[in-house]
Amino acid sequence: MTATTPTERPSSGRVPAALAWGAAVAHPFLLLSAIQAGPYRSTGLRLFLTAVTVGLTLPLARRNPLAALGLLLAGLFAAATTRPDAVLLYLPVLAADAVVGRIAAARPLRVLLPAALGALAVQIAAATYTTSGQNVFVSTVTALALALLTAGLLGRSVRERRSHAAELRAATTAEAVAAERLRIARELHDLVAHSIGVIAIQAGVGRRVIETQPAEARNALATIETTSRETLAGLRRTLGALRGAADGGRPAPRDPAPGLADLERLAASTADAGVRVALRRLGNPDGALPPEVDLAAYRIVQEALTNVVRHAATPTCRVTVERRTDTLLVEIADEGRGAPGGEAGAGGYGLLGMRERAELLGGSLTAGPRPGGGFHVTALLPLPEGTPTS
C-alpha cells in the first residue's frame, strides 16, 4: 500500500473547495436565468430551477458561510431587479436566513450582527422591487425581520447548547482526572507507607545489633531487601497502569492486585516490623469477593497496620474480617497508646484514604480510641447483590 505523503493531503482538499466556490459564484447568474426561464415562464419550472441554484451554495455555506451569504444576497438582489413574482424569491430569502443562522451558531456576535444587518438591508432592498403599496411593503419588511431574527436566535441557541455541552464535558473530564489522581495517591500511599515503616524499623534494629548480634542484623537486612523488592514491584505495576500502554501501543503488563488472601503475608511483614498480628476470619471472607471490595479491604488493613507499627507502640494487634450476608466487616484493634497523630482522624492521609476507599464503595469507616485504651478501625463494605458466598 502506498503511503500518502504530506504534500498530497492539501491538494486532495483543494478540489472540493474549488468546486464549492465555483458553484457558489455561478449561483447569482444561474438564479437570474432560472427566474426568467421556461416556456411561457412556468412558475413551477422556475421554482424548481431556483431550488437547484440555491442548492449550489450549500457546499460553500458549510466551508465559508460569510462568502456563501454574500453570493446568495447578490443573487437575490439581482433577481429582484427583474421584478419577478414574489413567490420565486421565497427560497433564496429562506436560504440566506439559514446561512445567517449557521453564522450565529459558529461565529461571535461581532461577526453575526454585521452579517445579519447586511442580509436584512439587501432583503428590504429586494422587497422594494416585488411589493406594491405601503401596507404590503411594511408587512413584508416585518416578516423579513422576524424571520431573520428567528434564524439568528436559533443559531445562538445552538451555539449556547454546544458551549454548555463542552463545559459539561470539560467538568466531567476534570472530575474524572481528580478522582483518578486521588485513587493513584491512595494506592501509592498505601503501597509505600507500610513498606517504609517496616524498612525503617528493621534498619533501626540492624543498626543496634550489627556488632553484638550479627545473625539478627542479617535477618533485618534480609527483611529490608524483601520488602524493598515487593515495594519496587508494586510501584512498577502502578506506574505501568499510569502509562496506559507500553511500546507499540500494547497494554503494560500488570500483576494481580493484592486482596484478603494476602493477609498472612501482610501479617508476616508486620511481624518483621515488631508487631504480631492475630488474624481472625469469619464467614469465609476469602471466597469470591468483587475485586474492588477485595482490594479496598486489603488496603484498609494494610494502612491500619502501618499506623499500629508507627504510632501505637504495642507488640500485638488484632485483625478481624467477617463476611456477612450483604456486607464485609473489617476491624483492626490494638491496645497501644491511641490514635495516630494524637487524635482520632488526625493521622495524615492514611485515615482519610481508608475512609475514601470505604465511601467509594458505598460503605463506611470509623476510627478512634478504644475506651480501655488503644485504637480501633472498623470498616463496613457492602457486597453487591448476588455475590457468591463461597
Q: Which domain holds residue 50?
A: 8-130
Residue at 86 is within a domain: yes
- Work out the average pLDDT over 82-95: 87
**Does residue 213 lie within any of the structural domains?**
no
Say if 312 falls within a structural domain: yes
Q: Which residue's entry shows cell 493484592?
A: 258
List the one residue out of 281, 313, 274 whose CA is nearest residue 297. Answer: 281
Q: What pLDDT, on the 0 to 100 scale, is given for residue 238?
A: 67
Task: Give pLDDT tens digits for 324-374.
Answer: 888 999 999 998 876 554 444 444 567 888 888 888 888 999 998 888 788
Answer whether residue 27 shows pLDDT above 80: yes
- Residue 301: CATH number of its domain: 3.30.565.10
Average pLDDT along the chain:
81
Report pTM.
0.52
Return d(Cα 122, Cα 226) in angstroms, integer: 84
Within a domain: 241: no
Confidence of residue 150 (pLDDT cuts 50, 70, 90): very high
Residues above pLDDT 90, as percent of the chain? 20
Q: Is the dihedral of CA 282, 286, 290, 292 positive or negative?
A: positive
Supply the pLDDT for residue 214. Answer: 80
Residues 195-206 have a mean pLDDT of 75
Q: How far apart are CA 221 and CA 39, in angstroms?
A: 105
Which single residue is written with the C-alpha cell 507507607?
Answer: 193
pLDDT at 342: 43
User: CA-based angle 188:189:194, to the nearest 5?
Assistant: 110
| Residue 58 belongs to a domain | yes
pLDDT tens-place string over residues 47-71 = 888 888 888 888 888 889 999 999 8
How many whole angstroms separate alpha carbon 291 and alpha carbon 257? 8
Q: What does the pLDDT look like over 231-264, one tens digit per residue?
A: 777 777 666 666 654 444 444 445 567 888 888 9
Residue 236 in domain: no
Top pLDDT among 181 and 158 is at 158
Which range (74-78, 318-322, 336-340) has the least confidence? Answer: 336-340
Domain contains 194: no
pLDDT-derived band at 98 (thresholds 50, 70, 90) equals very high
Number of structural domains found in the chain: 2
pLDDT for the residue 99: 93
The C-alpha cell of 109 is what? 456576535
- Is residue 231 in some structural domain? no
Alpha-carbon span 111 to 37, nearest angstrom: 36
The residue out of 130, 150, 184 marking a domain boundary is: 130
Last residue of a domain, one of 130, 163, 192: 130
The pLDDT of residue 211 is above 50: yes
Range from 185-189, 199-203, 325-329, 341-345 carrying the lowest mean pLDDT:
341-345
Task: Report the pLDDT value the prediction gives residue 344, as an integer from 0 to 100.
Answer: 41
Q: Choose the final residue of a domain: 101, 130, 159.
A: 130
pLDDT tier, 210 (very low <50, low <70, confident <90, very high otherwise): confident
